[in-house]
Structures are given as structure tokens and as C-alpha cells.
Amino acid sequence: MKWTITLSQRIWISFAILIVLIGLIIAFVYPFYIQETLIDDTFSTIEQEQWTILHHQNPNDYSGNPELEGNENQQTTRTILNRVVLKDAEIPENDSVLKTMMLQAKDQKKESKRYQLTLKGTTLFYVIRKIEVNTESGYLISYTWDTYTQIMMHKLWSRLLFIFILAGIFSLFIAAWLARYLKRPLNILGRHFDEIAHFNWQKPFEWKNNDEFGQLSAQFERMRVNLIRYDESQKYFLQQASHELKTPIMIIQSYAQSAKDGIYPQGDLDDTMDVIINEASQMEKRVRKLIYYAKVDSLREKAPVFTRVVFGDLANELKERFATQRPSVKIHVEGEKNEWYVDEEQWRILLENLLENALRYAKENVWLTTESTDLYTRLIVKNDGNSIPDDEMMNLFEPFRKGKQGQFGLGLSIVKRIVDRHSGTISIQNEQPNGVAFIVTISHKQTSKWLNK
């Protein structure tokens, strides 16, 4: 079973990890840093003491200081002790510390140098400076023990530990407040989601702050509005589809019943049967368009199957098929050699619907034209019929929006969906002095992206 972590637990764990990491960093870094700082401060104090002796006192006053060994246990404050030793002075055999210092002094190249010496678990900090005493060469040795440094380090460490514990406790209160603060808008959004799950879409998302939750709320509000529009469009689609199918069914039913009763509303029996056959054919076309409309919608997330299509082959085939629909209208094909990389089945449906629509409104001519550049390939289907009013032009691609001579109101909607699936654009343009052109543009750059997927 997979272990899930709530938002509150994530916040608590994050703060706990942060506190532990800070504690580890302090535990490993702080002691070394504070120790180095205190040692450097100790040497600076020793060097300041030497400067005072050389400029304001007589170094001869420090030639008889007590022995170095044994003084470390007597120093509880940072007291600087000084001793002047001539270069050729004799060192007592039992003063091993001074012997070590003198050996270091004789090897010393610089005028002044810092040293450390560990004795019986404690550290002696000292500075040896070359000086002249009554025309003789000698050394001023200033020193102190690490007792004061250790005391200061323990005090600082204990105070830091106390502050760290207080900060850790305070951060836990912050974590609790933050968990509650972050969960509040999420709980509100969660309740809205639950309402949407029960198809209660009327209550809007409201989060007035301009923070990330406000942006998230705005995105969910757009989703809610789109769901309402989608639900309304589905209801409208079902209503219109039912109406489109109901009319021919009623006609077929009434004519069939009349024929059965020996009554012929349209001439004789053959005329009545022709009406029934014609209405059945119309209904079959409606059903086919409805099925294809739903099919294109269901394939919205699926990439088209691109193949190379020569425009002339497809256009001339459709020209021959539709030539008998309106023999008085001439169909002209231009740009036959241009090629497309499209889904051939969908592109055939697109061209069929555009050509059928153009023939319905044309007076004498319909043009099927393609233009190709380095950037795009463009399809233009144009007729010489009447212009489309501006108020109708914006809604022509909506399902069941029919013109004056329209049939089902699905053809142009199917065209729009096919163009969208190919990442193209479609527009309508009234020609002068008369005529209407449908213009489909496919970008070569976008086609290349689809082909390379």
C-alpha cells in the first residue's frame, strides 16, 4: 500500500528537515568558525600589548618574569604576560618551553610571528618579536593561555544552543499556522470541486486575493464557465439533432400511413414513394453528418495521419462527382500541382463540404484554388453568389447554424473542426462585386512539427 502524505504533514516534515539541517550546519561549522575568530582576536590582543610595551614602556622591566610552566592553571581572564630574552642568554635546563621558543625565535625570518604550543591539554598562544635591548639583540615574547578562549567559546555555544531551541519551537508554531493558512483556500476549492462533481456548476469560484491561489481560482472559474458552455452546447446539439431527425421521420411515417390507407398526398403511389425515398435519403445524409461530426470531435486529442495529397487529383475527382448536382454551374480548378501534407480522409470531407456549400449559393461559377509559398499553403473555395451579412458570418461555423438555403447546419462546423485539427485557420471573405470566398491556411512550420512527432 502506497503511503500518502497530506499537505500538513509535508509542511511539518519540511520544517523539521530545515531545522535539522540548520542544526547540523551550526554543529559542524560554528565551533570551527568561532574558535578561529577567538584565536585571531587573542593574537591581535597580544600584538597590541607588544606595541604598547615598545612605545610606552621599557622592555627591560620584563626580563625577570616567572617561568612559563605552571602558569596556565592560574589564568582565568585574558591576561597577557611578557618576557624579554636576550639572543645569547643562557636558558635553564628545566625551562623546556622557553627553549622551544628560543629555537623558534632564532629560526624566525620575520620581525614578528604568531605561534601555538600545546602543553598538558591546554594551548599557549604567543608572539615572538625581535627587539634591541641596550644595543643587544633580543626577543620580546608575549603570551597567554587558551583558558579564556575556551570559557568564551563554551558561553557562546551554550547561548547559541538556547537560541536555536527557542527558534525551533517558534518555527513549529509557524509551521502549524502555515499549514492552516495554506489548507484554507484548498478546502474552499475542494468544496467547489465536489459541487461540480454533482453537476452544480452555477456557483462561481471567488478568491479575491492576487496571490497564487487567486490565479488558481481564476483558472478553475474559467474551467467552470467552459463546462457550462460545453453542457449547454451538448444540450443544444441533442435538441437540434432530434429536431433534424424528427422531421423526416414524421414525413415518412405520415406518407407511409397514407399510402397504406390508399391515400396519395403527392399524385399517385409512385410520387408518394418518391417523397418517402427522398426523405429517407435526406435522413441518411443527416445521420452520416452527425456521425462524422461526433467522430471528428472524439479525435480532437489524436494526431492526424498525414499523407502527401496532390490538390488536382482530389479536386478533379470531386468536380466530376458534383458536376451533376447543378449542371448550370461551372467548377474551375486552379493550382492543381500544389501538394498538401494532410489527413487525406478528413481533407476530402473538408473539400466536399466547402464545395457543396459553394454550389448551393453559386449563380454560375465556383472556383477551387490553391496557393503555395515557403510559409504556407492556402485553399480558396469561392462562388459568385450573394454576399453573407456580417451578423451571420461570425456564427456560420457553429453547429446547426444554417444560411437561407442551408440544409443541416453541420457542414461548416465539420470543416472548422478539421482545420483546427490540422492547426490551421479558416476565414470568410465577401468578394466584390459579389461572391463569397472560404480561405483555409495551413502553415508549413506547423505541418513539420506534426510530421516530426
Please report whether residue 165 resides in a domain.
no
Q: SS3 of 310, please?
A: strand
Instruction: Examine residue 78 and state whether it is found in any structural domain, yes or no.
Output: yes
What pLDDT, on the 0 to 100 scale, is given for residue 73? 47
Say whether both 285 and 325 belong to one domain: no
In a shared domain, residues 343 and 374: yes
For the cut 60, the answer to whether the pLDDT of residue 70 exceeds it is: no
435-448: string of b/e by CB count within 10 Å (b at 16+)? bbbbbbbbeeeebe
Instruction: For residue 316, give the CATH number of its domain.
Output: 3.30.565.10
Is the residue at 160 inside a domain? no
Residues 355, 308: one domain? yes
pLDDT in tens, 241-278: 666 667 677 777 887 888 777 777 777 777 778 878 87
pLDDT surpassing 50 at residue 65: no
Q: For residue 424, give the nearest of 411, 439, 440 by alpha carbon.
A: 440
145 plus 62 within the same structural domain: yes
What values do phi and psi take at 401, rounded to 5?
Answer: -95, 110
The CATH code of the domain that includes 238 is 1.10.287.130
The domain spanning residue 122 has which CATH number?
A: 3.30.450
Instruction: Check residue 431 and give its pLDDT.
Output: 85
Q: What's the start-to-end Cα distance of the chain, in Å?
A: 37
CA 394 to chain centre: 34
In this structure, are 447 and 308 located in the same domain? yes
Residue 3 lies in a domain: no
Tell me if residue 57 falls in helix, strand or coil: coil
- The answer on 346 and 282 residing in a single domain is no
Domain extent for 279: 212-297
pLDDT value of position 209: 66
Between 217 and 385, residue with greater pLDDT: 385
- Residue 393 falls within a domain, yes or no? yes
Confidence band of 381 (pLDDT split at 50, 70, 90): very high
The residue that leads in pLDDT, 262 or 425, is 425
**Does 282 map to a domain?**
yes
Q: What is the mean pLDDT of residues 225-241?
A: 70
Q: Please check whether residues 131 and 60 belong to one and the same domain.
A: yes
pLDDT of residue 332: 92
Q: Does a structural domain hold residue 120?
A: yes
Out of 103, 128, 153, a domain closes at 153
Residue 201 · residue 224 · CB < 8 Å? yes
Flag whether pLDDT at 398 surpasses 80. no
- Taking the C-alpha atoms of residue 442 and residue 392, their distance in angstroms, rounded to an integer, is 25
Please tell me whether residues 281 and 369 are part of one structural domain: no
Q: E strands, 58-205, where? A: 81-86, 112-119, 122-133, 136-145
Same domain, 381 and 435: yes
Say how many residues make up the chain: 453
pLDDT of the residue at 152: 78
Give strand pairing partners of 132.
137
pLDDT per position as a tens digit, 76-128: 556 788 888 888 778 777 788 888 888 888 888 898 999 988 877 788 889 98
Phi first, then psi, for residue 54 (nearest 5°) are -70, -25
Same domain, residue pair 270 and 373: no
Q: Is residue 333 part of a domain?
A: yes
Instruction: Say what the pLDDT of residue 449 is.
Output: 66
Q: What's the whole-number average pLDDT of the chain?
A: 78
Place of cell 499549514: 179
Of 74-88, 292-306, 362-376, the range with the lowest mean pLDDT is 292-306
pLDDT for the residue 144:
86
Per-residue pLDDT reduced to its tens digit, 122-148: 888 899 898 887 778 888 888 888 877
User: Last residue of a domain, which of 242, 266, 297?
Assistant: 297
Q: Is 234 left (phi over 0), alpha (psi -120 to 50) or beta?
A: alpha
**How do strand 376-383 and strand 365-372 relate by DSSP bridges?**
antiparallel
Domain boundary among 297, 332, 348: 297
**Is residue 83 domain-shared with residue 216, that is, in the same domain?**
no
Maximum separation of any 2 CA atoms in the chain, in Å:
153
User: Residues 99, 22: contact at Cβ < 8 Å?
Assistant: no
Does 441 lie in the same domain as 325? yes
> pLDDT above 70 covers what percent of the chain?
79
CA distance 85 to 138: 6
> For residue 440, what pLDDT is reported?
92
Within 8 A by CB and 6+ apart from 107, the residues are none
- Residue 74 clears pLDDT 50, i.e. is over it: no
- Amino acid letter for position 431: E
334 closest CA partner among 353, 316, 349:
316
Between CA 429 and CA 437 the distance in angstroms is 5
Q: Which of 173-182, 306-315, 412-421 has the highest mean pLDDT?
A: 306-315
Total domains present in the chain: 3
